[in-house]
Structure 1
């Protein structure tokens, strides 16, 4: 039960409900008003009357700016305290439930930290599924599992990620108020989630230290990123390739993290390393928007130029066998991009029919596009598919041309490919 009262401009307390009025009447007497943070009212009866109170009780409250909140969390862990710690800072309230000093769950009113938003960002549920589950009035996590939208194991992963994010945000709160109530988590009674507090503290401190380093190149989640051509290309890991594929000059760091179903911290860490390697840079403004149809056409035309250049480098006597191998590649129904190559074959110069290709891309259902390309963008899908085909062309050409020609061709392809990737 939540008890509210108003403190008017004349210093009078006005109870908002009968329950609040009775609670105040039970404490009738003279109180000493103690100095406290603007958002915290602390008073002590004088003279003290003593006595005990039944649970739930606020056993500690204070000002966040007075000492590091991490020290207080460590005290909760070491003292094996059970209860709910609530931190109000920056217009949001975050709560962490403890059982014998270990974290059992978390809640937040901050955008992006609610369990439904976490589930969507990690790719375990859609916004439509979250809305349907929330409409029933049951706890959201339980409803998602009962409706078959999320498995119990995936829900656990979502809760764990939420706890990590909320806990980290609390450690970063420089000001505000906090209070600890010795009660069970009212939102998830009997929750099975249990996370080691010491591990969360160490991970939180590590994240704070690393994030201060990342901010030198990635200013924050609202920063826009654009690609650059590195001086010395390196081999990228799959997740690095995925995030780099989402960098288009128009997405923010936060949007890239969401499209990749990654946490903001993990995405920032990878993007920082890509920036260090010279693959991208942060910019203050988004790149000028280009019509999607025009971008698709530019990608198709640009890739056809590269395909022609590769075939042109192959000796004339070797081209028939080269093109026959390409026809076999395009006809492979088991390939990941088979739907894009339907009814396509290379022309004698190696190019593809751009009109037919773009028609195939446009006819794909949104769900198929989302399954083949990060972020569900048709431009990204087209680029990824043509890039795979381009690499197959280079592989075939490498067996038929000399080393010097192969190296020169590789440089030409690399420069043009970076320009085309800006369009995806």
Structure 2
């Protein structure tokens, strides 16, 4: 339970400080023009990572804390996401109480503690109020259409961070349900020909999540594998809501790409293939350099090291690397990768290539951090990673 005098909403400066210190940590950076916030969460949930996700754009910075694949805290520099504003919107604080509390806030202090002192918030209710604030920040963050993200892999969070009992999957479903931007939905869902199916064990997990009527309806339409187009055509919901709900169920891993899907896929245009090859070569240059640095340190043990790197990859990514010898200086065979992608029927080759390379880079980073954390070798490899992400 939180105490009024000690725990409260983390001040907005915490998010800004995290960005300034993050350059010294092991992190991945990118643009939200390439992905969506829900899909970032999906990657971390699927691999049970512990990380700090910083999102910057629209004049604000949001910081989401993920512990072993579960969202446990969030802070924001957005003044409308402050504790007082969140409680005012939810009706837990009336306008008179809000204004009076703001009048008393003449020196920097914790707003939640002040609300307790004024009798507007009971000490036992402070924890739930902070949960509500963190949830509001996460829901709002999923609407980012542009901006930058940084994922810092870590084993611990700052002492100020309180672990909250948030429902990660429910937050994601509710957040996607609030998204009204078709550009985000199509970016997350992909092509209409994408073949989906219910994931193993999804019935029990869906029951535990207490799916609403719309979510249950869309989920039931996939008792047998079906394309996105088939589902939205059969649903009594609007095409927009059906597609959005599909994306939500896919993001929380209740749905998955159907195995053995025979989706008609046209090979990418020649110029696009050149672009993908260039992307692979850029990452391969980094993989080779990381391989060489680690080899200098541990010699032939590098082969066991590479095996551990691959263990960090998700089950969905591993088939794309089938037929490759990853001990070949850590390089990815582009021709084999492209053939694997085409054989899988994946609907967007460029995005899949980017995702595979990105996740493989994650694997190298995590294993380097595990084996050489705090050493000069780690710092050298961080510099390489930052270059490949620019």
TM-score band w.r.t. shorter chain = 0.3 to 0.5
Q: Which protein is richer in helix relative to its size? A: 2
**TM-score in terms of structure 1 length:** 0.33
**TM-score in terms of structure 2 length:** 0.36
Q: Answer with 1 or 2: which has the greater Rg.
A: 1
Higher relative contact order (CA 8 A, sep 6+): 2
